[in-house]
Amino acid sequence: MDFYAAGDGATSDAEAFEETWKVACSSHNSEVIMYIPAGKTFLLNQTRFDGPCKSPITVQVDCKRIDVVAPNSLYSKPSDLLTFYGVDNLTVNGSSQTDGRGAQWWDCYNKKSLSLAHCNNLWVINIRLKDIGDKNLILYECMQVQVHNVSIAALGDSPNTDGINIGSSNHVNISSCSMHTGDDCVSILSGTTDVNVTNTTCGPGHGISVGSLGGVGDGPTLVERITVSNCSFFNTTTGVRIKLWQGGQGKATGFLFTKLRMTAIRLLIDIDQFYCPQGNGPPRDGGVAITDPLFVDIQGTSSERETIKIMCSKSVPCHDI
């Protein structure tokens, strides 16, 4: 408010947020807090917060009644709603709701999300994301990440609304989150290692997925050391799955899916080296190799007669399932 934010939900506050960020990011204090006060609704439009910053920084949202909302109109070009780029030692903390007013975006597939890229030693805790127009929370090229008590809500038929999308990142812990989406609750993409998802609920949505990996134009991929444990799934199309395009390169290895409870799931376990969401993908030789996926203590109910599907390539067979 010191930088003339209106906080009325109708006037753009992007400039005030950006000016506040510049001062906070350049501060040499040992503890820097960018404070978003209670009792206001802030309107942001494609706002970006760049690092590096001089000190560890916390973005603190103080009250559950605060909304950070997207304008109720279409932007001129695709972009992320809120982006933190190159900010190490960042904490995003609070119980406000980020409302993306996403239904208007669903036919456009524009990314309107909370995006964190090239951020190391990152904490994202106690936030709520609602009706983002595309992927909700994106982590790209981040290291040492804690995502805790994050709530994500989108309609079950909203397209491409992944809950948490992780690419080229490592040492990521996701705990005690709740995700209701129209796509994957958690999607783990190429270049990602050492991810732990625990005590999280998923549904509706498409479950927790490794991939898709190995698409046309992608280079060699590596995903390894992924653990999903003590999670619950409700009314999802799949529970846990590994999805790979034909013809890819690289490997996906070292997965543990354990102590999972599932209710009314179409496919509890799905391994698919012929992934093609449009159907009838052309046959291609080669593929991303799958080794050492371990499924332990998965219980519940399926909405279909088929509960487990394993579709592996003859040219690159699966090993040690």
Catalytic residue among 183, 184, 270, 272: 183
309/306 Cα distance (integer angstroms): 7
Please tell me the distance from the alpha carbon of residue 81 to that of residue 75, in angstroms, as a whole number. 10
Per the DSSP assignment, residues forming a β-bridge with 299 are: 261
Q: C-alpha dihedral over 169, 90, 124, 48, to 10 degrees? A: -80
Q: Active-site residue among 118, 131, 206, 272?
A: 206
Whether 118 is catalytic: no
Q: How many CB atoms lie within 10 A of CB 11?
A: 12
Q: Which amino acid is at 130?
A: K
Rounded to whole angstroms, how far apart are CA atoms 36 and 67?
10
Q: How far apart are alpha carbons 291 and 268 in whole angstroms? A: 19
Exposure b/e, 80-98, CB count within 10 A at least 16 = b: bbbbbbbbbbbbbbbbbbb
24 φ/ψ angles, rounded to the nearest 5 degrees: -65, -45
Q: Residue 117 CB: number of other CB atoms within 10 A?
A: 18
287 secondary structure, DSSP code:
B
Cβ atoms < 10 Å from Cβ of 302? 16
Query: What are the backbone dihedrals phi and psi of residue 226, each rounded to the nearest 5 degrees, phi first?
Result: -115, 130
Contact 104, 132 (CB under 8 A): no
The residues carrying an active-site annotation are 183, 206
